[in-house]
Amino acid sequence: MFAWKSPSSKPFRELRGRATDDELIELMIEQPRLIRRPMLTDGDQIVFGFKQGAYDELI
């Protein structure tokens, strides 16, 4: 759910594959732009980012 492709993530890209989940969550709390959006859920599954096929299946 971390938005690695976002321009906001550029300063943090060296952390990819090295940062713990807790560290990434802390960064997302401090900078919400680092959260991949949109998010869609049906209560059981979550789709991060826009994926038309996945949205069609979920809805």
**Mean pLDDT, rounded, for 50-54:** 88
Task: Specify if 1 maps to a domain.
Answer: no
Estimate to the nearest angstrom the gap between the alpha carbon of 24 and the chain centroid: 10
Closest CA relative to residue 55, chosen from 33, 6, 22, 45: 45
CB 6 within 8 Å of CB 48? no
Give the predicted TM-score (pTM) of the model: 0.76
pLDDT tens for 18-50 read 999 999 999 999 999 999 999 999 999 999 988
Tally the domains of the chain: 1
Range of the domain at 18: 7-58
Tell whether the model's pLDDT for residue 56 goes beyond 90: no
Give pLDDT, residue 54.
86
Task: Specify if 2 maps to a domain.
Answer: no
